Amino acid sequence: MNSSIAHLLKIFLSFLFMLVIATGCVRAPFPSPKTSGLAPEQPSPAVQIAAMKYRSDFWKNFQSKLRIDVSGKSARFSSPAIVLVKAPDLVRFETFTPIGMTAALFVSNPSGPYLLIPSQKVVYTARRPESVVRRFLGGVSLSVGFFSHVLSASVPAEMLGTLKGRYQDGLLRLTSKSSAGYFEWQIASGALVRVFIGSPRFEGEVVYDPPVPLAGESVPQRIHISSKKWKMEVRVEKMRPAAQFPPGVFHLPELPGVRQVVLDGTK
């Protein structure tokens, strides 16, 4: 009996010894990696410039329905508007009265800028498009060509090849500097936030509310444009790319009894 107990005790101690060894061989699990607290890596400037180039190509031809509000020293008005743009240099910008009649029609084509005021039976033209724009928009000096890119949150084709990018203060700043002036597009989290413009004929800024994702199909909602002398708010109601436009849409209609006024000398 004693020999049996001794034998069982021996077996138990052997089992306990093997269990201790096995337990000691089990590795502790790896500690979970600690987060560094750093922000996710930002896309490179080259990637964002490529996205902006894609967007600019996507929106090179478009039509839009807007509501514009202008306030400045020389004018204050609010109007619904329709803007048609066809690259590289065709623009139609039409504002309307409260009953839906044309209040003013601006067209820009290779033959020049023209502004028709039907109620006055007058067509304004000029050597410099900015002169006609100021008459059209109550002192606003931003070129209609650049305004079309503001609407589509894009970059003019002639500036795409000169873009340079750098990160500063959490923003990607895409800049273009030439004889035309200094332009800066500010991007945060893949969306266009603000544009600074410093040119001989216009200095001011554009703010997008909310910021516009660079994804080509994204449409701005509310745009604030300002200079020292005036402010404009644009609410975009509809905007879509346009492959084709009706014939003659970028020319003035022929109306009887309309006189022409040249704003800045002989055209």
Q: Does residue 90 contact residue 108 with C-beta atoms inside 8 Å?
A: yes
For position 51, what pLDDT does the model report?
94
Within its chain, how far is the Cα of 219 from the centroid? 8
For position 6, what pLDDT does the model report?
52
Q: What is the pLDDT of residues 56-91, one digit of tens each?
A: 999 999 999 999 999 987 778 899 999 999 999 899
More confident residue, 256 or 33: 256
What's the whole-number mean pLDDT along residues 243-257?
90
What's the whole-number mean pLDDT along residues 175-190?
92
CA-closest candidate to residue 52, choices 175, 170, 224, 181:
175
CATH number of 45-262: 2.50.20.10
For position 193, what pLDDT does the model report?
97
What's the whole-number mean pLDDT along residues 167-191?
93
Tally of CA atoms within 13 A in the half-sphere of 211 that contains its CB? 15
Token pair for 166: 């750098």
| Confidence category of residue 143, pLDDT binned at 50, 70, 90 | confident
Q: How far apart are CA 206 and CA 224, in angstroms?
A: 6
Q: What is the pLDDT of residues 92-125, one digit of tens each?
A: 999 999 999 999 999 999 888 999 999 999 999 9
How does DSSP classify residue 209? E
Q: Is residue 37's pLDDT more than 70? A: no
Within its chain, how far is the Cα of 199 from the centroid? 19
Q: Is residue 190's pLDDT more than 50? A: yes
What's the whole-number mean pLDDT along residues 218-240?
95
Within its chain, how far is the Cα of 215 from the centroid? 10
For position 133, what pLDDT does the model report?
84
Q: Where are the domains of the chain?
A: 45-262
CA-closest candidate to residue 196, choices 185, 188, 208, 181:
185
Q: Over the chain, what is the mean pLDDT? A: 84
Rg (CA), the chain: 32
For position 13, what pLDDT does the model report?
45
Within its chain, how far is the Cα of 200 from the centroid? 22
